[in-house]
Amino acid sequence: MLSVRSQRRHVQSGDASELGVELRSLDKSFRSTEGTIHAVRGIDVSIASGETVAVLGPNGAGKSTTIEMLLGLANPDAGTVSVFGLSAAAAVDAGIVGAMLQTGGLIHDLTVREVVTMVASLYPSPLTVDEALELAEIGDLAPQRTNRLSGGQTQRVRAAIALVGDPELLVLDEPTVGMDVEGRRAFWTTMRAFAARGKTIVFATHYLEEADLYADRAVLMARGRVVADGPTTEIRAMVGARTIRATLPGAELDKLRALAGVVGAERHGEAVILSCSDSDAAIRALVGAYPDARDIEITGAGLEQAFLALTGDDEQAPRGLEEAQAA
Amino acid sequence: MTTYVRYELLRTFRNGRFFIFSLGFPLVLYFLIAGPNRDEHDLLQSGLSAPLYYMVGLAAFGAMMATTGSGARIAAERAVGWNRQLRITPLDSRSYIGAKVVTAYVTAVVSILLLYAAGTVLGVRLAAGNWLAMTALILVGLVPFAALGVLIGHLAGADTVGPAMGGTVSVLAFLGGTWFPITSGTLYDIARYLPSYWLVQASHVSVGGHGWGTRGWLVMAAWSIALIVLAARVYRNDTKRV
């Protein structure tokens, strides 16, 4: 207990806060009914203090297992976790970590305000309950019993619970699953406001747009490994930054693929879609070779295409936001 | 920690099932059973008046329900993942169980005091020292039930915990002599080895009789140790980092 207190003082003194979060050579297997699953196969990730990082990947990529090790809920078979210079468990005990796990509900027979107050009382220097409710935009729910909340409302209360301890590191495991568009927007407004206080946020998501819009950086995982790690803009640049769409009947795809700056081409009826590594060169080459091309559009590819190109695994690709909403 | 326990208590007292089974049910039964027999001064050769015997019997029943129920609510918290949520707060898991035991005892005391009040309504009069000695003995006798609750809370699922707990406690209460004194026969041979029997036997202290005797203390100690060891084991398995 004493050692935890002294470590916390060390964290607050400022020099340790530069340390951030370090995952070193993490490895984890567990047994299931289908045999041994090697969920995480040697992961190295460094997250600077104050950064917002998205962990992206399909189901079974090892995101949740990585997060459990980051939170001290699971011990790695090999490798180390360091959270602002502390072990995962010590960081949790020191009250510098808050988290929203993938699944979870609320205890009953209490109001929203009471549950948040109860959790706040466990932390050494929490936010005020009003501040947490306001950040999570659930001030209006405060007097309601937790039994009567909708799924989306429950998620927002869980967000308030994750924030109320005023943690330095906030970990969110697929936090917006089950939320409607409006709820999702409100949720990320909350997280942006929290990040603006200099907090470090790590979130796992299926939704590429969320990583694109809200993270400084994306770590892409597949089959227990990190397949890409960088600023979201950089990851997009790694694989065909832009797409050109044009109405061009009769053009041969092979010839289009040979154009400068073009890495891929496909046909949709009369239209062709070109994936480009350099869209500026590609558009000049296109209109030079095919002066009759019309209705030309150039768009950013988004992380989804980047993900597909990097993992080469269409089957297990994460769903896009529109697709998920339609489902 | 105090705030945490305060809200644990608040939500226990708001819970309808707790009110009915730990507080309401024993109280109503007490008046139904002891009321018509309030002039019976030696209930089935127990040496105790009916109002006194049933007061302690039903206080023991309510207190068993309250203490076991508090731990058993861990099952519902596990079902919604609340215990995992708490594991990523600075609350250590010993304090989590500690808060459950404190809640168990506070609710048990409320249940006992309600029955004492009902007892005085039906004419039970005891010296202050005897009230205290009897209460102390009952509180010690609840230790195995607090551990039993934690055990059931980890073994049962959210939908089976009600029947599992209610059934176990009801059988123990019946064999312990909550509903009528057990003084001879096969039932007596079984009862003497149950913690619930000795819990009800605390009533003898109230009229200056000796408490549990060596056998009583041995039975209580054995059940307490066994159930605490089992509860600690399931709890450790549950919180172990895999």
- What is the per-residue pLDDT across B48-83, written as a single tens digit (0 to 9) for each? 888 888 898 899 999 999 898 888 888 888 888 898
Distance from CA of B37 to the nearest CA of A (A): 39
Confidence check: pLDDT of A321 > 60 = no
- The pTM score is 0.77
Helix (H, G, I), strand (E, B) or coil at A299: strand
Domain encompassing residue B132: 2-239
Q: What is the pLDDT of residue A320?
A: 42
Residue A98: which pLDDT band, with cuts at 50, 70 and 90? very high
Confidence check: pLDDT of A327 > 50 = no
Confidence check: pLDDT of A314 > 50 = no
Give B142-172 pLDDT, tens digit per residue: 999 999 998 998 888 888 888 888 888 888 8
User: Which CATH class for the A2-235 domain?
Assistant: alpha beta
Of A318, A312, A305, A247, nearest in space to A277 by CA: A305
Average pLDDT of A88-113? 92
Residue B80 with chain A: CB contacts under 8 Å:
104-107
Of A191, A230, A232, A195, nearest in space to A211 by CA: A232
For A80, how many CA atoms within 13 A lie in the half-sphere containing its CB? 8
Residue B82 with chain A: CB contacts under 8 Å:
104-107
Give A169-222 pLDDT, tens digit per residue: 999 999 988 788 888 888 999 999 999 999 999 999 877 778 888 999 999 888
Helix (H, G, I), strand (E, B) or coil at B231: helix
Q: What is the ipTM of this complex?
A: 0.82
Residue A61: which pLDDT band, with cuts at 50, 70 and 90? confident
d(CA B174, CA B153): 22
Confidence check: pLDDT of A277 > 90 = no
Is pLDDT larger for residue B242 or for residue B60? B60
Q: What residues contact B95, with CB distance under 8 A and at least 6 apart?
A: B1, B4
Average pLDDT of A85-112? 92
* H-helix or E-strand spanning residue A263: strand A262-268
Of A303, A316, A233, nearest in space to A62 by CA: A316
Distance from CA of A120 to the nearest CA of B (A): 9
Give B224-241 pLDDT, tens digit per residue: 999 898 988 888 888 776
Q: What is the pLDDT of residue A280?
A: 86
Q: What is the pLDDT of residue A103?
A: 83
Confidence check: pLDDT of A310 > 80 = no
Which one-letter amino acid corresponds to residue B1? M
Q: What six digits make up the tokens of B25?
A: 């049910």
* H-helix or E-strand spanning residue A110: none
Which one-letter amino acid corresponds to residue A292? D
Segments making up each domain of chain A, as ranges: 2-235, 239-326
Determine, for residues A74 and B242 on separate chains, whether the beta-carbon distance falls below 8 Å.
Answer: yes
Q: What is the torsional sign of CA A227, A231, A237, A242?
A: positive
DSSP-assigned beta bridge partners for residue A309: none
Residue A122 with chain B: CB contacts under 8 Å:
4, 86, 89-91
Give A254-272 pLDDT, tens digit per residue: 899 899 888 888 888 889 9
- In chain B, whose CA is at the least distance from the CA of A88? B88
Q: Is B5 on the interface with A (CB under 8 A)?
A: no
User: Which CATH class for the A239-326 domain?
Assistant: alpha beta
Distances (CA, A) of B181 to A89, B49, B92: 53, 11, 43
Average pLDDT of A318-326? 41
Average pLDDT of A37-42? 90
- In chain A, whose CA is at the least distance from the CA of B92? A93
Residue A236: which pLDDT band, with cuts at 50, 70 and 90? low
Q: What six digits make up the tokens of A3?
A: 């050692």
d(CA A267, CA B146): 70
Q: What six digits make up the tokens of A181?
A: 């568009």
Q: Is B1 on the interface with A (CB under 8 A)?
A: yes
Average pLDDT of A110-127? 94
Q: What is the pLDDT of residue A304?
A: 63
Helix (H, G, I), strand (E, B) or coil at A122: coil
Distance from CA of A21 to the nearest CA of B (A): 16
Most confident of B11-25, B98-112, B210-224: B98-112
d(CA A110, CA A141): 12
Residue B12 with chain A: CB contacts under 8 Å:
109
Determine, for residues B85 and A97 on separate chains, whether the beta-carbon distance falls below 8 Å.
Answer: no
What domain count does chain B have? 1
Q: What percent of chain B has pLDDT over 70?
A: 96
Is pLDDT larger for residue A124 or for residue B156? A124
d(CA A146, CA B85): 16
Helix (H, G, I), strand (E, B) or coil at A202: strand
Q: Is B17 on the interface with A (CB under 8 A)?
A: no
